[in-house]
Chain A
């Protein structure tokens, strides 16, 4: 009946029959070609350029998270990789093939959507097998694949149900299953957990992580939730305004953010920032925040600092300690304004050099508002940014 229905993409080696078994989990074999490669990508809606000149290489088996606030272009980028929107310029390669103008179905991808996007009038089984039926696979093959995915995701009892008869978590598992039956190398996730409540979100996050360890496929995962990003990713690409701000391992991004935006976006509660200036003294460089002077001799500068420049000084709440001051740490006193008990942790609000400062401490603390506390941190853990460029020094 339809031309597209008969063009059945041949299974690629490595993607095919043994994908249920574990491949070397997540290993990025050196020398192998990129699994997904985005080259000099431009995307414009009308006159409005959303993404300009973006490059991204994703290794086979890698779990890459695109992280950023809403409107940063992360979903646009994912949709472009999926072939769901036309790009203005550039190339997209998947598994060594230029798929820039290929149909989504011919790109060797599976995709999981935020709203699940299950076909409402089809049973779970029909939802899973829809793409395979379109591709014209033999019945036995379809049944085998659907069964394997159902086993993998524990969907056995649900096969005859309609999506409306499933819970949110079950729906999302079916949506993941629909991507899995395609036996592809690359999975795309578009904020798959953001419609779920906190408890289910944690459960499914773990499930996705396990799935990745087991299947070893390339996964590209879009989220605005930094916890998901930190826990799932091999590498995180932090995006803003259509530009990748920083691409790196979660730990690197947490420890050594390239600029103030990345530093502020990662971490909860967010990093404390103070305006100040860089001064060099006899004991090496120091940050002057009002009347407070933080020595930076232990700080590992990313680039040679220019003396007397305006800087933004940042320190994470969890890097500030209370009580005893270890050797080499900077210490200061402040009045407690507010105490937020969160169970496992307590957030203490005080101030440093006239600006608010949050400290994350254990849940058992007896600190009350109005008290004066002594806190300290290791300047090596701080981040210093050039005020003019926002880049980390």
Chain B
């Protein structure tokens, strides 16, 4: 089987993926140049040399390092406990056994409750959806305000937010717990959603601000001459152009919020514990023999949503990572 190295390459969008100037007329006007570049770029493919063999050797070792854990997880989750005890972790399961998966989903125990990881799954869904929507809305409006409207003190606000993005949560947690207790919100769904919006604000503001800073100011000026106000320009002019950054923001927030552990642990309350916390409880609360097949199935289930986002979104996922800290 042979795959042409050049045709399997996507156009070299590296730079533009970071710059977020998508869909400009100039991009479209010069497709031939891009194609020409992609055909000749990189280094010339060579025949099998020592270096080439070493290269593929390194690739194979690296791929094994990254793939092995996932393979072991899937294999083990399909085995029975006697198989696990006796066989190698690399051995294939004797039969295709989904018992552990079903048990993990619907009857695994966390402490005294034995309702499976599904409770955590639905909790995570209920937390992630409103948190993602609210934090994107907040970040988009603030990012838009900071990049187009000359408001006094905007620099200071942005600086504090940036600093906040990088500070450890431990600085804020305890007073927040106290504050939420005072207003009677502590350990509720609203509490964890608000906390996610607060801690998502810096990164969301940053990526929307960077995106809007990349749009031509003349567009904003034209809309102002046309009489658009703050919300009108946002809604009718900016938002329709924001699809790429909205996708990136959604990927980023779904992944971040779903994968969160510490905030869910502290703020969500017993009724709303997200899947990551539930998983840790399932794994650590097994008495007697540890049911490794069940634990691994539960772990895969917990990782499933962000993995799905990753596989579906592909290149957008990388943009999301890069969007966070690239250029101000």
A111's nearest neighbour on chain B, judged by CB, is: B225
Q: In the complex, what residues of B have CB within 8 A of residue A178's CB?
A: 222, 226
Say yes or no: B224 contacts A2, CB within 8 Å.
Answer: no
Q: Which of A86, A105, A120, A164 is close to B226, meaning CB atoms less than 8 Å apart?
A: A105
Say yes or no: A119 contacts B223, CB within 8 Å.
Answer: yes
Say yes or no: A4 contacts B225, CB within 8 Å.
Answer: no
A131 with B236: in contact, given A115-B218, A120-B241, A121-B241 (CB under 8 Å)? Answer: no
Q: What DSSP secondary structure best describes chain B's contact surface? A: helix
Say yes or no: B218 contacts A113, CB within 8 Å.
Answer: yes
Q: Which of A1, A103, A114 is close to B224, meaning CB atoms less than 8 Å apart?
A: A103
Bound complex: CA A109 to CA B227 (Å): 11
B219 in the interface, Cβ–Cβ < 8 Å?
yes
Q: Which of A74-109 contact B (CB under 8 A)?
A: 79, 82-84, 86, 103-105, 109
Interface residues on B, range: 20 to 34
B226-240 CB mask vs A (1 if < 8 Å, else 0) is 111111100011001
Say yes or no: A84 contacts B241, CB within 8 Å.
Answer: no
A135 in the interface, Cβ–Cβ < 8 Å?
yes
Say yes or no: A117 contacts B222, CB within 8 Å.
Answer: yes
A121 with B216: in contact, given A111-B222, A134-B227, A135-B227 (CB under 8 Å)? Answer: no
B46 in the interface, Cβ–Cβ < 8 Å?
no
B6 in the interface, Cβ–Cβ < 8 Å?
no
A307 in the interface, Cβ–Cβ < 8 Å?
no
Q: In the complex, what residues of B have CB within 8 A of residue A2's CB?
A: 229-232
Q: Which of A342-392 contact B (CB under 8 A)?
A: none
Bound complex: CA A86 to CA B237 (Å): 23
User: B23, B222, B224, B241: which has the most chain A beta carbons within 10 Å?
Assistant: B222
A3's nearest neighbour on chain B, judged by CB, is: B229
B25 in the interface, Cβ–Cβ < 8 Å?
yes
Q: In the complex, what residues of A have CB within 8 A of residue B228's CB?
A: 4, 105, 130-131, 134
Say yes or no: B236 contacts A105, CB within 8 Å.
Answer: no
B28 in the interface, Cβ–Cβ < 8 Å?
yes
Q: In the complex, what residues of A have CB within 8 A of residue B16's CB?
A: none
Say yes or no: A114 contacts B225, CB within 8 Å.
Answer: no
A60 in the interface, Cβ–Cβ < 8 Å?
no
B284 in the interface, Cβ–Cβ < 8 Å?
no
Q: In the complex, what residues of B have CB within 8 A of residue A250's CB?
A: none
Q: In the complex, what residues of A have CB within 8 A of residue B240's CB?
A: 119-122
A166's nearest neighbour on chain B, judged by CB, is: B25
A110 in the interface, Cβ–Cβ < 8 Å?
yes
Bound complex: CA A3 to CA B229 (Å): 8
B1-43 CB mask vs A (1 if < 8 Å, else 0) is 0000000000000000000000101001000000000000000
Bound complex: CA A110 to CA B227 (Å): 11
A5 in the interface, Cβ–Cβ < 8 Å?
yes
- Give the Cβ gap from B232 to chain A, nearest Cβ, in Å: 6
- Give the Cβ gap from B322 to chain A, nearest Cβ, in Å: 23
Say yes or no: A117 contacts B216, CB within 8 Å.
Answer: yes
B150 in the interface, Cβ–Cβ < 8 Å?
yes
- Give the Cβ gap from B148 to chain A, nearest Cβ, in Å: 11
B227's nearest neighbour on chain A, judged by CB, is: A105
Say yes or no: B221 contacts A131, CB within 8 Å.
Answer: no
- Give the Cβ gap from A205 to chain B, nearest Cβ, in Å: 20
Bound complex: CA A178 to CA B223 (Å): 11
Q: In the complex, what residues of A have CB within 8 A of residue B232's CB?
A: 2, 4-5, 134
B165-177 CB mask vs A (1 if < 8 Å, else 0) is 0000000000000
Bound complex: CA A368 to CA B137 (Å): 71
A164's nearest neighbour on chain B, judged by CB, is: B25
A5 with B229: in contact, given A113-B218, A115-B216, A119-B237 (CB under 8 Å)? Answer: yes
Give chain A's interface residues, CB within 8 Å of chain B.
Answer: 1-5, 79, 82-84, 86, 103-105, 109-111, 113-122, 130-131, 134-135, 164, 175, 178-179, 182, 190
Known: A84-B224, A117-B216, A122-B236. 20 other contacts (CB 8 A): A2-B229, A4-B228, A4-B232, A82-B221, A82-B225, A103-B224, A105-B227, A111-B225, A115-B216, A117-B218, A119-B236, A119-B237, A130-B228, A130-B236, A131-B226, A135-B227, A164-B23, A164-B25, A175-B222, A182-B226
> Would you list 23 pairs from A and B whose C-beta atoms are within 8 A, ordered by A residue?
A2-B230, A83-B224, A86-B150, A105-B224, A105-B225, A113-B218, A113-B221, A113-B222, A115-B216, A115-B218, A115-B219, A118-B222, A119-B219, A122-B240, A130-B226, A131-B226, A134-B226, A135-B227, A164-B25, A164-B28, A179-B225, A182-B226, A190-B218
